[in-house]
Amino acid sequence: MKISIDILSHGIGEQLFDCWYAYRQSLFPDYAADIKVVDHKDADFRLLFAYMPDKKLDTSRHDMILICNGGEPYIVSSPI
């Protein structure tokens, strides 16, 4: 699978991608993951990651949106 990951702002939640990629690698004897991170235009699946966004996100170009609040409770998250 070819995926693109757009990161609007960095946060601890990005570690999720490392864990997922490592898991996919562990499934194959030669540790070659069956996923590739590619440019947006060449991707089969488009993902958007944002840490505490402060404005409305354009979700029209992505298949999935992940919003990270840095492990904080909702009371300290952004209004978005």
User: What span, in angstroms and rounded, lies between the C-alpha atoms of 51 and 57?
Assistant: 12
pLDDT higher than threshold 90 for residue 80: no
Residue from 70, 32, 34, 39 nearest 52 by CA: 70
pLDDT given at position 45: 93
1-50 tens-digit pLDDT: 899 988 888 888 888 888 988 999 999 888 888 888 888 888 999 999 98
Q: What is residue 44's predicted lDDT score, i.e. its pLDDT?
A: 92
Q: What is the pTM of this model?
A: 0.73
Specify burial of residue 22 (Cβ count, 10 A radius: 0-12, 13-18, 19+): exposed
Is residue 52 a contact partner of residue 78, using CB atoms and an 8 Å limit? yes
Alpha-carbon distance of 8 to 27, in angstroms, equals: 30
